[in-house]
Amino acid sequence: MLKHMEKLAELKRAKLLALSLLLIAAAIFITTLALPPSPWVGALKAISEAAMVGALADWFAVVALFRRIPLPFVARHTAIIPRNKDRIADNLGRFVEEKFP
């Protein structure tokens, strides 16, 4: 039980860190919009924008693997693991059987 609680606390810390980094990237991006144009500001803006896009894409990809996202154009491509768990289990079992005799 204690190990489970420790894992939940670790997960909570990881989620908080990820959200904090996303908010820092967003704050940097918003700040660059108010600064006068220069090569450094442009670079900082591009880096922070890329960090936000990457973080959101990673979040969406992980969520889409495990949960259904009720958006009309992507709903078919979500909850991939729950929908295919039997096929994944069969393939994994076959792989272990064949590769580790």
Q: Where are the domains of the chain?
A: 2-99
What is the residue-level pLDDT of the chain in tens, covering all 101 positions? 779 999 999 999 999 999 999 999 999 999 999 999 999 999 999 999 999 999 999 999 999 999 998 888 888 889 999 999 999 999 999 999 999 97
The residues near 44 (Cβ < 8 Å, ≥ 6 apart) are 28, 32
Which pLDDT does position 91 carry in this prediction?
A: 96
CA 15/CA 59 separation, integer angstroms = 11
* Dihedral of the alpha carbons of 14, 9, 68, 77, in degrees to the nearest 10: 40
Which pLDDT does position 72 carry in this prediction?
A: 86
